[in-house]
Amino acid sequence: MPAMSRSFVISQGQDCDDVVIQLHEPTLTEDNLGLKTWTSSLLLSRRLHEMRRLIPGTVDRVLELGAGTGLVGISAACLWKTHVLLTDLPEIVPNLQQNLEHNKDDIQEHQGSVESRALDWADETHTPVWEQDRFKVILAADPIYSADHPKMLISTVRRWIRWETDARFIVELPLRDRYDEERRALRSILEELDFSLVAEGTDVGYDDWRGPDGSLAEVTCWWSMWKPNVPQP
């Protein structure tokens, strides 16, 4: 796919102006899928306003894993008026940082703040130094396209999330036929590693790929919200 720049409109709910986020997407080459904005990111961004009621207390620190072009993290910063650290592989971060800079004024206008950093899920030595470095909420959109990813993703979540009942891990991913086993593995690993399901559902959107008739491909996505199982005193 060629390079493009486009705008995404995210609702803040009734009586509030929409958030308009402008993103640059470089030419898609080889396997750098994080250089494009996928429908699961847009659907999750548009669900964040509703999801906020399922997160108790204040949301002071948010981490996005596999941020790609930055749509979800920027949306969270604006809608939740909070600080978001957006992370991805080193080759994705330069374009991500460019998008954060391009939307900086709008993010600040909505009382949010953002920063970006490289984070490789396979590097288990990269962990928080202090407890205050952990995050109240972790977000991930379309993070699984390998059999290794469910375990790597949840291992990273466990390292970086605050282990408290008010913390949340939120994930949305498309229901692609070839990744049924990986989706089942994601749920199984979360349950095995002491997470409980708070809520789940499906959304329907469209990816950029067109079929033989020229129509956009309809995609159903599964979203879910999880919390750590914290032993009661």
In a domain, 59, yes or no: yes
Q: How many domains does the chain have?
A: 1
In a domain, 212, yes or no: yes
In a domain, 119, yes or no: yes
Nearest of 219, 233, 131, 130 to residue 176 by alpha carbon: 219
Per-residue pLDDT tens for 75-97? 999 999 999 999 999 999 999 99
In a domain, 27, yes or no: no
Per-residue pLDDT tens for 151-163? 999 999 999 999 9
Per-residue pLDDT tens for 38-84? 899 999 999 999 999 999 999 999 999 999 999 999 999 999 999 99
In a domain, 129, yes or no: yes
Range of the domain at 84: 32-228
Res 211 pLDDT > 70 = no
In a domain, 18, yes or no: no
Nearest of 172, 178, 192 to residue 38 by alpha carbon: 172
Number of neighbours of residue 74 by Cβ within 10 angstroms: 32
In a domain, 203, yes or no: yes
> What is d(CA 225, CA 214) in angstroms, rounded to the nearest whole number?
35
Higher pLDDT, 32 or 65: 65
The predicted structure's pLDDT at residue 151: 94
What is the rounded average pLDDT for all residues in the chain?
89
In a domain, 24, yes or no: no
The predicted structure's pLDDT at residue 54: 97
Where residue 134 sits, what CATH number does that domain have? 3.40.50.150
Per-residue pLDDT tens for 155-208? 999 999 999 999 999 999 998 777 788 889 999 999 998 999 999 999 998 876
Number of neighbours of residue 1 by Cβ within 10 angstroms: 12
Q: Are 140 and 86 in contact (CB under 8 A)?
A: no
The predicted structure's pLDDT at residue 179: 77
